[in-house]
Amino acid sequence: MKWTLLAVVLGFLMDLCFGDPRWLYHPVRIIGHGITFLEKILRKIFPKTKTGERIAGGLLVVGIVAASSFVPWLILYLAYGFRTWLGVALESFMCYQLLAARSLRDESKKVYDALQTGDIEKSRYAVSMIVGRDTQNLTEEGVTKAAVETVAENTSAPPYTTSRSWRAWSGSSAWTSTRAATCTTPPETTLMKSSRAMWPPSGATPCDRWS
């Protein structure tokens, strides 16, 4: 849509101003509930074998990503068809919810502050808010590495910035589908590593912290 770039810019500015308040219901929570619902159904249908779980995991990814792409696309299609300003407003809000530059800064600063005080438990909890890995047994060095890697990956690594450029032109629907793909993949794997098990450990996804 021709107004998408404007919506992305407005969404980015809103994110810088307001961040990601916890009281605001996040779309990732809807995706998380969808994953839980579909996972229960697929676990009943497919056998608990390596092949069965991989097939079910693949269907889970495809189903959630497809729904997460189609629903915002349909909402925006109807909104733009009714009034252009309504479409821009809705897409800007969607982009605002899907961006997290200010939150990344705030949460990573909490990790730094906790490390400065020497409180390892507080540091582990703080870093758990920005990574998808298990942080319970991380050392101070491990916490530091996890935080630095996350910030670096989300701000400077070429694959990520290229991905963000594509999503900026594609709009909020593409952003939502990417979030869905992240949520339906176990923390230690990615969609590119399809040779490993695609099925998350019973109900555990990177979206859990939003539920």
pLDDT of 149? 87
Give 178 or 84, the one with higher predicted confidence: 84
Tokens representing residue 188 in the block: 């230690």
Contact (Cβ atoms closer than 8 angstroms) between residue 88 and residue 7: yes
pLDDT tens, residue by residue, 29-69: 888 889 999 999 999 999 888 899 999 999 999 999 999 88
pLDDT tens, residue by residue, 156-171: 644 444 344 444 444 5
Contact (Cβ atoms closer than 8 angstroms) between residue 130 and residue 184: no
DSSP state of 72: H
Provide, rounded to the nearest whole percent, the portion of the chain with pLDDT above 70. Answer: 73
**What pTM value is reported for the model?**
0.61
pLDDT of 183? 55
How would you class 192 by CB atoms within 10 Å of its CB: exposed for 0-12, middle for 13-18, buried for 19 or more? exposed
The pairs formed by 129-134 with CB atoms below 8 angstroms and a separation of 24 or more are 129/209, 130/104, 131/187, 132/187, 132/188, 132/206, 133/187, 133/188, 134/187
Tokens representing residue 34 in the block: 């969808």
Mean confidence (pLDDT) of the chain: 76
